[in-house]
Structure 1
Amino acid sequence: MTILSRGTVQLTLPLELPAGARQDLFLVGPSNEAAVHHLDHFATWPVQAALLVGPRKSGRTLLARLFAAKSGGTIADDADRWTETELFHAWNRAQADARPLLVVADAAPPIWRIGLPDLRSRINATPVLRLEAPDDLLIETLLQYLFDRKELVAAPDLVRWLARRVERSHLAVLRIVEALEEDAMLRSTRRLTVPAARAALAGNPLLLDRLL
């Protein structure tokens, strides 16, 4: 698994893969590069923990796994669904073992309501890393990446056409690609064009209708 950056700084968290395995890529852009940079410098953390928050399908679990593979640390994924006692002990264990813990949740406090005072104080002392809604460049890159993953051949102008119209969220991009894949299967082709996409996505709430 690899992190790809299209910026000037290459941020990589390599992981050995078996021969023939397909790589998963975490795509870096202005909306998430601060979080990646912090994870890449885990040796300088003031506490042996960080809280990673972001929307659905933002790649937060993939990023956490890449981080654990590089750092030797541990992950508390979907931490807001853990019992507070379990998470409290995991945070303390990370400090005692000097082994970084990455806590992954939907949101940080106070949106994430923590009842246990000792856990709340520890999470409040933990740096928060945010995966924001994707910026324009990341949306375009993500569209092309997903098309490639699904072995769909997108006309050069299609990615730009979609990137200007799709809702600004990781989940919306994924759903649009899935809709186009389904349409391509119905048409028995792997080739995608703007006219075909316009017809397939007419009325789709994830696109700005006025720009169709």
Structure 2
Amino acid sequence: MTQLRLPLERPPGARSDEFLVGEANAKVVHHLEHWGTWPVMAALLVGPRKSGRSMLARMFVRQAHGEMIDDADRGSETAIFHAWNLAQAERRPLLIVADAAPPEWLVRLPDLRSRLAATPVLRIEEPDDALFAAILRDQFDRRELDVREDAVAWIVKRVERSYISLQRIVDTIDQAAIERDTRRISIPLARPALQGAGLLVQSRGEAPSEDP
């Protein structure tokens, strides 16, 4: 699993922002790293919420000296239209971040619709097992929780594999750890916490009776 780091000035001891790269987002990262070859100086970045898309966009803007428009599908179409044109005129890359691309994103301004049709779409997918596990470890580490590898593997097999559910899982287990006055995350701690929150699903590839 690889990482991109955002080189920001941060207080001593603060942890740098990281974007974990896996199969779900590797093509997106590759495209952003080679922005100099873009046929137009714009790209549309779409993907699930909590997928790190805004963080990735901010990293790109800083490294490529470009511009970004976040939550574009809820913003001003006229402003996006002018930003797109300015990016071409100044040859500065523009990253447009949205939940989805047209036609799912219903664009009413004809001139913007035509420009977005000529804009490459970069799509972050839901995480595979490896990326899901890596983000889990990272999120637990950020909260100074000591998670066992068998607990990570157990969780990955038994929960919905999405960015939204991942955040709920970490929040739920963190709260359970606080209530038990421990920072060590194990299967006996995770199981009742996730079950009580309705976050467990039937394990993929195993019979329910095989749970530890």
Verify: 1:15 aligned to 2:10, yes or no: no
Deviations 1:85-132 (A, max 9, x none): 111001001001110000000000000000111000001110000000
SS in 2 for 1:26: strand
TM-superposed CA distance for 1:12, in Å, is 4.1
**Of the candidates 168, 171, 177, which is equivalent to residue 175 of structure 1?**
168
Q: TM-score, normalized by length of structure 1?
A: 0.92
Q: Give how far 1:16 is off.
A: 3.4
1:106 aligns with 2:68: no
Deviation string for 1:147-173 (max 9, x for gaps)? 100101112210010111121101111
Structure 2 distance, partners of 1:184, 1:75, is 38
- Residues of 2 paired with 1:37 and 1:17: CA distance? 25
Cα distance in 1, alignment partners of residues 95 and 157 from structure 2: 34
Q: Is the 8 A contact 1:13 1:70 kept in 2?
A: no
Partner of 1:206, secondary structure, is coil
Amino acid at match of 1:63: L
Q: Contact 2:48 / 2:124 at 8 angstroms: preserved in 1?
A: yes
Measured on the aligned residues, the alpha-carbon RMSD in Å equals 1.5
- Retained in 1: the 8 A contact 2:57–2:68? yes
Where 1:148 maps in the other structure, the secondary structure is: helix
- Work out which of the residue numbers 44, 55, 63 in structure 2 matches 1:70: 63
Shift of 1:204: 3.4
The percentage of counterpart residues that share the same residue type is: 54
Alignment partner of 1:51: what SS? strand
Return the alpha-carbon distance in structure 2 between the equivalents of residues 170 and 100 of structure 1. 27
The runs of 5 or more residues in structure 1 that have no matched partner are: 1-5
Report how far residue 203 of structure 1 moved: 4.3
In the alignment, residue 173 of structure 1 is paired with which amino acid?
A: L
User: Shift in Å at residue 56 of structure 1?
Assistant: 0.8
| Shift in Å, 1:14 | 4.5
Deviates more, 1:82-91 or 1:15-24: 15-24
In structure 2, the gaps of 5 or more residues are none
Contact 1:52 1:129 in 2 (8 A): yes
Query: 2-side partners of 1:13 and 1:100: how far apart?
Result: 20
Cα deviation 1:16-47 (Å, max 9, x = unaligned): 33343311111110011000000010111000
- 1:53 is aligned to 2:55: no
Give the C-alpha shift of residue 11 in structure 1.
6.9
Q: Give the stretch that moved more between structures: 190-199 or 91-100.
A: 190-199
Letter in 2 for 1:94: A
Q: Partners of 1:33 and 1:123 in 2: how far apart? A: 22
3-state DSSP of counterpart to 2:125: coil
**Equivalences, count:** 204
**In structure 2, how many angstroms separate the alpha carbons of the residues matched to 1:11 and 1:185?**
29
Kindly indicate whether the alpha-carbon contact (under 8 Å) linking 1:27 and 1:138 is maintained by their aligned counterparts in 2.
yes
Give TM-score, length-normalised by structure 2: 0.92
